[in-house]
Amino acid sequence: MKAGVIHCRCSKCYEVPARKRVRKRSVDLSLLSLPEEILLYVLQCLSAEDLLSIRAVHSQLRDIVDNHSSVWARVRFRDTWPSPKTLWLFERAAEKGNFEAAVKLGIAYLYNEGPLLSDEGRADVCGRKASHFFSLAESLRSPTVDPFIWVFIRPPWSPTGSCCKAVVFDRLKAECDNNIEKRGPLLHCLARVLQLFDEDERRSDAIAMLEESSLAGCLQSSYLLWEHSHKASMADPGRYLQCIRTLRDYAGKGCWEAQLALAKVCSSGNPLGLELKACSDLVAQLFSSSNTASQHCAQGILRRGIKDTMRYILVDWLVEVTTMKDFSSLTLHVTVGCVDRYLALRSVPKARLQLLGIACMVVCTRYISKEILTIREAVWLTDNTYKYEDLVRMMGEVVSVLVGKIRSPTLLDYGEVLLYLLPLERRTTHLFSYICELSLLYSALAAPPPAKLACAALLLSRALHHYAPLWPTLLADYTGFSKQDLVPLSVLLYVKCFSKDVPKDYRHVSLTGVKQRFEDEAYQHIGKEKVMDFKELCQILEIPEVVPQMEPPSPTGQPPDIHTFLASPSSTSKRRRDDDMQAHRGSFVATPTAELSNQEETLLGDILDWSLDTSCSGYEGDQEEESEGEKDEDSSMISIKLHPLTEEDKRLEHCRALSSDEDSFCGAEIEVSEDYQGQEPLSFSADLHSSGYSSVQSVNTSSTSSSSSSLMPCTFKTFTTPLGAASANAQPGFRLLVPMQRPRGTSRQQVKRKNVAAHSTGEVEREEEDLEGEEYAGFLSL
């Protein structure tokens, strides 16, 4: 018997040693071992910088990256701008079908921001390059969407002769003759540009271009032609009926403007001769199609660390800019919509929130208004916190993230349909617009669909002006919403919009830009109108006297009812102090300045121009202190109780102004105890990256209980006190930043805020760090 061979299980054979089995080692899996389809999916999710690094690892990865255009078409260029070193990368991605790269290249060449070109013939070279990439970007979008590149080449053009916009216009016009596939959207863009000129000849050319674009299949051009000709057909019933049928066809193909116009026509009459039920169903279809993207948008903002107060300050400042420049309310609504949609998709450092807001306004004014907000003027409005190139690059980021979709359905769109359906008195109409703009300030009111929120605002307006019935059957049939569906949202609107506990800046001045805007005579001083108390409203709505409590879990697992009230980004708008210490403010300018009150002069004496940390902007909402919990979970806040000053504290007040012109300030977050009882030592957290603007913190059960949450089914709690006293137990506390003094010739100064923040490199600002053991600037506690 051979050794190592087992013949049986007997004792003799069993003693023969058996051959050992060798286990095979498992093969190590690497990225290259994945199937090519999965590997392509992984590569498509990388940024441009990471893709180049992966490409250099292995020859097989290099071949996959170079030979598959889908990888380049989906590569991301977040916070990256074309430069001489990366120009080839952007151009390669754009030629492979990358929309973001094409948009950024078009804007970079149009404004000569990024690529280094010689001055000789620069307008012609940049114009040819910009027209190529703008045309490429437009061709990458769906043919049913609204073309957008005309926004960047619209007038005014440079009167000096060599204008890059004019070169782009001429090149796009020549391309329409050579490329039949792109004729539709390109001719539409050229026509939109010519419509903005005053010459009749150019406007006639615009109509001719719209006709050619419509024949090429551009739905938006067809609607603009209908809009141009439908007024002339109203005199002839037969022509008008055919005109409405054409509008119905455009609406059925998915044109949003056509759907809105058809709903207005059917609300004011029945030109199609439909049955009453069919006509109401047609309008109700528009309201029911209001998607729930707004709810996902609000949740996305919270997940990315943008708190309710930060957004409130930004929107309040945008309201001031809108009022100062006399832009329409629609421009404001579309601007805020763009800000929310961008924040839902991309995270933005707090120091760049103001840059995002003003960039969205620049783009939206070019899309909606005849008078635009120029880039240089927009930079001035931020107190030169950002540079010209910063704003140009942010415009490219916004348009690329939103995929060129600037216009989205707003509250005002559905509100116009409601007013066509059941007109209101002029004063009530102003109240309705007032409530709509107030709702822009709160993240909790950005969660409901705009159609339902518009109906709730109308219900609240009718209740406040004692209309009867509150919600007629006509409104219920045409909107699809019953009174019971809207009452909880109307109550939430009332609690949010008419609460007296609004955020305040460091001077204890309420941020009431919308209220001041509607106190103008053009709105019949509706902002000064006394609003009925909550008890009377509940009686009119026939509901118990309760306040809705928004209690969904926070996205980060932390309590959502604590927020820091930051300062306003623009402090020279007309506002009032709650204590009536400031009776009137002089000029109405949205550029950030600081005006010192008599009380502050008594405490501070002559004031010194304060400088900011180089990592912060001049926008007062860009910095919010973080506690240790926020660093871990980005949501919690550490609060410090503030008690009345003792005599010893008052004696030491003026010893706390320990700052210099070159040092940045730090802040401490303060929370007032409910009854100001008891005394505990004050403590402060050091933050060397604070912007230098003081912030105010207040806890309010009615206005902040849902500020960081999306709309959820309401739970009710018995409410036995008036709304104005809802937070009487939570007294607002504030802290005042005291800069170092120097002699001044005058006793009252209006100080321009200085800022040396550098944002031109497009880099992402680092998060604030809590540095222990560092000296902090002194604060005067009141």
Q: Residue 356 and residue 338: Cα distance in Å, rounded?
A: 9
Q: Residue 361 and residue 381: Cα distance in Å, rounded?
A: 12
How would residue 235 be classed by pLDDT, with cut points 50, 70 and 90? Answer: confident
Kindly list the distances between the CA atom of residue 141 and the CA atoms of 71, 101, 189, in Å, as whole numbers in the listed order: 18, 14, 14
Q: Residue 285 and residue 634: Cα distance in Å, rounded?
A: 41
Q: What is the pLDDT of residue 488?
A: 94
The residues pairing with 548 across neighbouring beta strands, listed in sequence order, are 716
For 614-643, the pLDDT digits (tens) are 334 334 433 333 433 334 444 333 333 434
Burial class, 443, CB count within 10 angstroms (exposed 0-12 / middle 13-18 / buried 19+) = buried
Give percent above pLDDT 90 in the chain.
44
Q: What is the pLDDT of residue 708?
A: 37
The vertex-729 CA angle with 728 and 734, nearest 5°, equals: 85
Say yes or no to pLDDT of 150 above 90: yes
Say yes or no to pLDDT of 353 above 60: yes
Tell me what the mean pLDDT of segment 246-253 comes to.
Answer: 93
Say yes or no to pLDDT of 439 above 90: yes
The two three-digit tokens of residue 478, written as one number? 């045409």
Say yes or no to pLDDT of 154 above 80: yes
For 113-129, the pLDDT digits (tens) are 877 766 666 788 899 99
* Beta carbons within 10 angstroms of residue 614's beta carbon: 11
Tell me what the mean pLDDT of segment 454-464 comes to.
Answer: 96
What DSSP element (H or E) covers 137? Answer: helix 122-139
Q: Residue 664 and residue 662: Cα distance in Å, rounded?
A: 7
pTM: 0.70
Q: For residue 553, is the peptide bond before it cis, meaning its omega torsion is within 30 degrees of 0?
A: no
Q: For residues 173 and 162, is the Cβ–Cβ distance under 8 A?
A: no
Choice among 35-44, 198-207, 313-322 with the minimum mean pLDDT = 35-44
Comparing 727 with 480, the larger pLDDT belongs to 480
What DSSP element (H or E) covers 549? Answer: strand 546-549
Q: What is the pLDDT of residue 296?
A: 57
Burial class, 597, CB count within 10 angstroms (exposed 0-12 / middle 13-18 / buried 19+) = middle
How would residue 271 be classed by pLDDT, with cut points 50, 70 and 90? Answer: confident
The two three-digit tokens of residue 276, written as one number? 């009453």
Q: What is the pLDDT of residue 191?
A: 96
Choice among 23-32, 360-369, 370-379, 506-515 with the minimum mean pLDDT = 23-32
Q: How long a stretch of residues is the chain?
A: 782
Q: What is the pLDDT of residue 673?
A: 39
* Beta carbons within 10 angstroms of residue 103's beta carbon: 30
Q: For residues 77 and 53, is the Cβ–Cβ distance under 8 A?
A: no
Closest to 210 (Cα-Cα) out of 253, 126, 276, 150: 150
Closest to 755 (Cα-Cα) out of 587, 505, 569: 569
Kindly list the distances between the CA atom of residue 216 and the CA atoms of 71, 94, 220, 601, in Å, as whole numbers in the listed order: 31, 25, 11, 68
Q: Residue 603 and residue 734: Cα distance in Å, rounded?
A: 15
* Beta carbons within 10 angstroms of residue 96's beta carbon: 17
Mean pLDDT of the chain: 74
Q: For residues 287 and 479, is the Cβ–Cβ distance under 8 A?
A: yes
Choice among 63-67, 300-304, 372-376 with the minimum mean pLDDT = 300-304
Comparing 648 with 638, the larger pLDDT belongs to 648
Q: Residue 296 and residue 344: Cα distance in Å, rounded?
A: 8
Q: What is the pLDDT of residue 726?
A: 39
Comparing 87 with 236, the larger pLDDT belongs to 87
Task: Give 442's DSSP letter.
Answer: -
Q: Residue 553 and residue 540: Cα distance in Å, rounded?
A: 32
Say yes or no to pLDDT of 432 above 70: yes
